[in-house]
Amino acid sequence: MPASGGRFELTLDDELVFSKKAEGRHAEPGEIVALVRDALGPEVMPEE
């Protein structure tokens, strides 16, 4: 969703998974994938 101020927020099923604004930082490499995997469960998104 477009936003001003460089905000990055990831939601999954209307639940906030990551917010750059709330965390005060960029996501670390692989962090978003790990958060989505945790939210969906290994049955839906197995590790590589």
Measured distance CA(18)–CA(10) in Å, rounded: 5
What phi and psi values does residue 18 have, to the nearest 5 degrees? -150, 140
Contact 17, 39 (CB under 8 A): yes
Over residues 9-32, the pLDDT tens digits come to 999 989 999 999 999 898 999 999
- 48 falls in which pLDDT band (50, 70, 90)? low
pLDDT at 23: 92
- 42 falls in which pLDDT band (50, 70, 90)? confident
pLDDT at 16: 95
Measured distance CA(13)–CA(46) in Å, rounded: 19
Contacts for 47 with CB less than 8 Å, ≥ 6 apart: 37
Any idea where the domains of the chain sit in the sequence?
Answer: 9-40
